[in-house]
């Protein structure tokens, strides 16, 4: 299936239409290059500060949603004939920082694939805030990881706005 000891392709998916487009691009490239795909989805823990049961409920919902994303990623990988390695990442830091921490410990990475933006309306103006921060920090930290940003198609934009 995938080339042994080869560099992996990493893709971060948040369940948004642009995120799934990034996933499809990563799978296509992985198939062509005979590489595995590391699929990341991130849960950022935020405490609402009001009641512990509300925090627990929100975390349970986030975890359920993240597991669904990773399961769909594995299914898409099977259909594409690509080895998919799912990673559920969690932390209190910014989502971009959690992704960067994964990259720092991942070893050899062929490239990182990101959607142009995710769920947030505010982050859709030019490029998503997480995508922008990851690009900036990859360069700043001197990580040897090329970043491929997949622009959202018109169909994805329509789906995101709906």
Condensed to tens digits (0 to 9), the pLDDT of residues 80-111 reads: 999 999 999 999 899 999 999 999 999 889 99
Residue 6's pLDDT is what? 76
Positive or negative, the Cα torsion across 39, 152, 141, 93? negative
Residue ranges of domains in the chain, CATH in brackets: 8-161 (3.40.50.620)
**Which whole-number Å values give the CA distances from 116 to 36, 56, 87, 98, 162, in the listed order?**
22, 31, 21, 18, 18
Q: Which residues contact 104 (CB under 8 A, 6 or more apart)?
A: 141, 143
Q: What is the pLDDT of residue 153?
A: 72
Question: Given its phi and psi angles, is residue 44 left (phi above 0), alpha (psi -120 to 50 degrees) or beta?
Answer: beta
Number of neighbouring beta carbons within 10 Å of residue 146? 11
End-to-end CA distance of the chain: 38
Length of the chain (residues): 162
**Per-residue pLDDT tens digits for 26-75:** 999 999 999 999 999 999 887 666 665 566 778 888 899 999 999 999 99
Which structure tokens are listed for 104? 């720092």
SS3 content of the chain, % helix, strand, coil (to 5): 50, 20, 30
| Reported pTM | 0.84
92 phi/psi in degrees, rounded to 5: -90, -15
Q: For residue 44, list its beta bridge partners.
A: 91
Q: What is the pLDDT of residue 160?
A: 46
């Amino acid at each position: 299936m995938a080339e042994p000891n080869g560099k992996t392709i990493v893709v971060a998916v948040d369940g948004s239409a642009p995120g799934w487009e990034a996933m499809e691009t990563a799978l296509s490239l992985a198939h062509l290059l005979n590489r595995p795909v590391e699929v990341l989805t991130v849960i950022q823990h935020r405490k609402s500060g009001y009641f512990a049961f509300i925090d627990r409920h929100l975390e349970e919902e986030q975890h359920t949603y993240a597991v669904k994303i990773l399961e769909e990623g594995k299914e898409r990988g099977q259909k594409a004939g690509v080895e998919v390695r799912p990673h559920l990442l969690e932390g209190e830091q910014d989502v971009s920082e959690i992704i960067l921490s994964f990259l720092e410990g991942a070893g050899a990475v062929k490239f990182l694939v990101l959607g142009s933006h995710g769920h947030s309306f505010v982050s859709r103006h030019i490029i998503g805030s997480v995508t922008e921060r990851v690009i900036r920090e990859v360069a700043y930290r001197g990580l040897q990881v090329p970043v491929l940003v997949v622009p959202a198609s018109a169909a994805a934009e329509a789906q995101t706005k709906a």
